[in-house]
Every structure is written in C-alpha cells, then in structure tokens.
Structure 1
Amino acid sequence: MTILAAPSILGLRPSGVERLAEQLLQAGLAKRLGIKQPLQYVPTQNDRYSQQRDPQTHCLNTLPLREFSKTLGAAVQRCIPENFPVVLGGDCSILLGIMSALKRLGTYGIVSLDAHADFYEPEKSTTGEVADMDMAIITGRGPDLLTNIDNLKPYVQDQHAIHIGQRDWTETQHYGSQDIRQTTITCIDLATLRQHGVARQSAWVASHLQSLPIAGCWLHYDTDVLADDLNPAVDYRLPGGLHYDEVELLVRSLLTTGKIVGMSVSIFNPALDSEGHITASLVEHFGRIFNVS
C-alpha cells in the first residue's frame, strides 16, 4: 500500500478540501495503515483555478483539470498492479485521472460511495464544478476534453460501475440532473441500504463485483456518504447518511473479493474541523477498514 497525495480542487473550489491529505497525514494516517513507503505527492494545478466557466464545455477549469488528470493518471498507473494506491484528494474530480489510467491498463470497474450521484450534465450544473458530474464523465457523458483523454472514452462502462449511498435525489430532481438510475449503472441508494440492511446489501455487492468480467475495480470514498452528524466537514451537506461501522462492513466485504486495486478519498474539508475531532475519527476509521491494529 502506498499513499498518493493529490490535493486538487479544480473540480470544486479552494474552500479547504485541498488540505485533506495534509490533515489526515499529520494525524497519523500512514502510521495507522502501517504504510512505510514514502509519500508520493502529485503536483496540482490549483494555481490555475478560475471561477469562470469555460464557454464551450460549461465546466470550471477544463484545461488544467485535463492536464492534472494526466499527471495523476501516470502516478496511479505506476502503482498498478504491484501496489495498492490510496489517493487522497482534493475533490472527487480526481476520478478522471484515476479511471483514465486504469483504462490504459485494461477493463476496470468502480465502486463509488457518495451521498451525491455526481451525474449532472455540465449545462444543468448550477456551479460548473466537475465534482458535480464526475460519475457522468468517467462513464463517457460530457465534453470530450474531459471524457476522452487520450481517446480512452469511456473510462468505465456503465455495467462495471456501482454507486452506493446516494441521498440527494430530491435535489437532483429539482435542478434537472440526468438520472443515474436510468442507466445500467448499479445504484444502491441510502433508502435501499436502510430497507434491506447494510450487511445484506454488502454481501450482494461483493457477489456482484466478483461476477463482473473486469481486471479489477477502484473504490472511491467520498466522505459525505457518512452521516452528517458524524462528518459535517463537507462543502455540500445533506441530512442522514451511513455510520462508520456500516461503511467499514461494506468496504471490508468489497476488499475480501480481491477485486479492489486501489482507493481514493475525497471531499473531507479540514477547514470545517477546527478542533480536529473528525480528522482523528477518520484516521481510526480507515485503520479499522484495513484491519490494522
């Protein structure tokens, strides 16, 4: 296991999420995970951040994000398959670099734990933030500058994508987002998890993942999937969410499949955790996920 720090905010804004890696590492994440390899830092292009939408793509920071994605992708590609990279964002637009890198290596899937579907079309997004649309982009929906880096579109096929934990359905309906549930992406929203139970759904997802004809699968963990009272340190808060033990059960069941080749963490905003309590809880949480004592 190795840590790649990729604190890009090109898909969101410089609100504090750029300190995610720094904060978790200062709180002892590498030691908690038993990682002895040197930290790898992926250079960002955060200094090129702009609040102005690109008139052609309707997205923020299209060109710097494309360039950063190539840099991050190269770093991830160097790790797979010999090592297990843990990529610390930043915002969840880091998925563009990660998943395009995996596409270069073969056919890979994704399991995304996220309170938001992240499936907006650029012109429907109220912000133009690519963090609103990363699941759409990696499955080939959106401007070619982002969906087709090095002619790799789509980075993930719908039938190889799994989205877990959505609880922003009312909001996406209000703003006219395309509906992720109207695709062949496997979607298990928060209500379904509650209805059938996390243990049962975790077993089903693990079985489904093992049945997919893929070389491996990436795990993306957007920390706003956690319950709002446990982790309010996110930029777009929503009531409800999963408890730490529920996420731990779910992720450990995925890891036992042997299909997960790496993991990314995004959206936690240390600027909203002034006393560091959430940071400390997250570090312990990740230790429990990987069963590191």
Structure 2
Amino acid sequence: MPYTIETIAAPSTLGLSSNGVEKLAEVLLSCGLQQKIHSNHPVIYIPAHYYQRSTIRDSETNCLNTSAIIHFSKVLHKAVTTVIQRKHFCFVLGGDCSILLGITAALKTKGVYGLVFIDAHADFYSPEKSTTGEVADMDLAIVTGRGPELLTNIDGLKPYILDENVIHIAQRDEEQTEEYDSPDIRATDIACFSLKQIRAEGLGVIMEKVLRHINTLDIDGFWIHFDTDVLADEINPAVDYRLPGGLQFNEATMLLSNLLATGKAAGISVTIYNSDLDANAYIARQITDCLGNAF
C-alpha cells in the first residue's frame, strides 16, 4: 500500500548512558533512505539537548536524564501529531528507544493505537531492577503505564498504549531478564512472539498469527517500533547491547512489509543503530536497503 511519508529525525541518546545512536538519522539519510522510501517531504529535525545529559540517576525517578527526556518527548510529540494530523505516514529516526514516549503520547491524543514492538529485548525493566537507569531498557514498560509518574503520565496521558494493544516480536533476552529479575512481559496482556517461537514455528506462521491478532484489536491504527538490535548479531553488531542470534535482513523486510501492507500503520520508529561501531557505514547501507525494500 502506498504511503505519503514524512521523516522526523529524533537523534536523542538521552535514554542511554553512551553515545553513537544519535547519528542514526544522519547516517541512514546519507545512505539514501529518503529516496528508497519515496519520501518527497523535507526532513523534520528535533533538537536533542545533549547539554542536559547526565550520568547520575534522578533522585525522584531513579532514571537517567528524566527532565531532558520529558522535554524532548514533548517536542517530538508535537512533530508526530502534526504529521498524523496531515494523515501522512510518520517515519521517525532515533536515537534510542526512549523516543517512544513522545511518539506514543502523541498517538494517545489522536485515538486508540496499537504498538508492534520489534526488538531483541523486552525493554520492560523497572528503575529499581535496571542496572543502568537507562530509560531505553524500560521504554515498553513506561509507555504501557509502568514506572515513575513523571515519565508514564506526561500531560496526563497515562497509559499511552494499553497492554492488550501491544505485540512484541523477536525477543531473545529472556535469560537476562530472569537473571536481573525484570518484570516478565509474558505475565501481561501483551501478545508475545519470541525469537525462539519464530524459529520453532517459522516466520511465515508467526506473521499470520500477528496479522490475525491485529485484526482482532479495536484500534484506530498501530505504530511499528523497529530496534535494529533485533537483527542477527553477526550481521548487525553496531548496537549497544549485543545478543547472539536474531533476524536476517530478508526476515526483517518480510515482517515490516507485511505490517505495512495492512494499511493500518500510522508510522515507524527506528532505533539503536550505533554508527560508531560501523566502519564505512556498511551495516547502515544494509539497514537502509532493508527499510526501503519493506516499502
């Protein structure tokens, strides 16, 4: 299905304690992403406010960069709202996964939306269980209403997304979440299709289940979140937290293209590609091709 696409560059690394992912938009755009997704609109740039970054946890939330993330989320919220009001497809280039707070808050003001969360990690830590305080390892928990009120209830919109309207695809950090006693995403109403399940049943079968599940949801549309660490470690080591296994590029393209073909996608966010770990942008070009082929 053809989409009229507007791209937003949201180069925030406020949800991490490290740098590198803030160059994601710059590098993918330099690889010709706009042309590959057939977007003729100028890119909208969100300032990232790196001067506000801190390595010290906020005393009220036990998270890093709480105030800066709230400010960034509100600015991104306005940009996403503007694109959706124009009935255009919103393509947001991160940054880290904390950009989801502003995106999903914007969706909440426009209706009831679902979230297809494609990520190697559950991103379901609570601040007290997180060893880092990074909002990027608890973003899915936060957007579904779990965690500090300052982050879960921006502009009184808690929860931004309901559990029953979330689908998580390709998690492979189950052992880590158990080791660090993270809340279990599988104990919620979130529909989960792990990488282990994909390998056992086949991606085609899982894709059919995902599409059937989407059709049961009473929603106005859904958002796609694509964290590049969902890709196999051997083809994409340019991420901050590496895990063995993962999806191949053709599998990611197939997954995204089927979701886009529903005509119900309001937008997509792409996060956690770290250009500092990708000499000569070799991986970036392949990610760009993957995204372009999906459209």
Is the structural similarity TM-score above 0.5?
A: yes
CA distance in 1, matches of 2:116, 2:138: 16
Where does residue 139 of structure 1 map in the other structure? 144
Amino acid at match of 2:171: Q
Note the C-alpha offset of 1:32.
1.5
Structure 1: 4+ residue segments shifted above 2 A: none
Where does residue 215 of structure 2 map in the other structure? 210
Note the C-alpha offset of 1:128.
0.1
CA distance in 2, matches of 1:131, 1:238: 16
Tell me whether 1:274 sits opposite 2:279 in the alignment.
yes
Alignment of 1:113-124 (within 5 A): 113-124=118-129
CA distance in 2, matches of 1:129, 1:228: 22
Where does residue 60 of structure 1 map in the other structure? 64
Amino acid at match of 1:161: V
Note the C-alpha offset of 1:259.
1.4
CA distance in 2, matches of 1:74, 1:13: 26
CA distance in 2, matches of 1:204, 1:152: 30
Instruction: Assess if the C-alpha contact under 8 Å between 1:88 and 1:264 holds in 2.
Output: yes
Of 12, 23, 28, the match for 1:8: 12
Amino acid at match of 1:10: L
Of 19, 25, 29, the match for 2:29: 25
For these two proteins, the number of residue pairs brought into alignment is 290
Where does residue 262 of structure 1 map in the other structure? 267
Where does residue 244 of structure 1 map in the other structure? 249
CA distance in 2, matches of 1:281, 1:254: 20
Amino acid at match of 1:80: I
Of 152, 157, 166, the match for 2:157: 152
Where does residue 93 of structure 2 map in the other structure? 88
Note the C-alpha offset of 1:14.
4.0
Instruction: Assess if the C-alpha contact under 8 Å between 1:73 and 1:101 holds in 2.
Output: yes
Where does residue 229 of structure 2 map in the other structure? 224
SS at match of 1:93: helix
CA distance in 1, matches of 2:76, 2:130: 25
Tell me whether 1:70 sits opposite 2:65 in the alignment.
no
Structure 1 segments unaligned to the other structure (5+ residues): none
CA distance in 2, matches of 1:208, 1:45: 39
What RMSD over aligned residues (CA atoms) do the two structures have, in Å? 0.8
Question: Deviation per CA, 1:37-59, whole angstroms, max 9, x where unpaired?
Answer: 11110112222000000111110
Question: Deviation per CA, 1:143-199, whole angstroms, max 9, x where unpaired?
Answer: 010000111100000000011110001011111100000000001110001111101
Instruction: Assess if the C-alpha contact under 8 Å between 2:127 and 2:138 holds in 1.
Output: yes
CA distance in 1, matches of 2:214, 2:51: 39
SS at match of 1:275: helix
Instruction: Assess if the C-alpha contact under 8 Å between 2:252 and 2:290 holds in 1.
Output: no
Note the C-alpha offset of 1:249.
1.3
Instruction: Assess if the C-alpha contact under 8 Å between 1:113 and 1:165 holds in 2.
Output: yes
Amino acid at match of 2:62: H
Structure 2 segments unaligned to the other structure (5+ residues): none
CA distance in 2, matches of 1:46, 1:91: 13
Instruction: Assess if the C-alpha contact under 8 Å between 2:229 and 2:239 holds in 1.
Output: yes
Note the C-alpha offset of 1:7.
0.3
Instruction: Assess if the C-alpha contact under 8 Å between 1:210 and 1:257 holds in 2.
Output: no
CA distance in 2, matches of 1:249, 1:201: 12
CA distance in 1, matches of 2:23, 2:256: 24
Where does residue 129 of structure 1 map in the other structure? 134
TM-score (ref. length: structure 2): 0.97
Amino acid at match of 2:123: D
SS at match of 2:224: strand
Question: Deviation per CA, 1:110-135, whole angstroms, max 9, x where unpaired?
Answer: 00100000000001000000001000
Of 65, 83, 102, the match for 1:79: 83
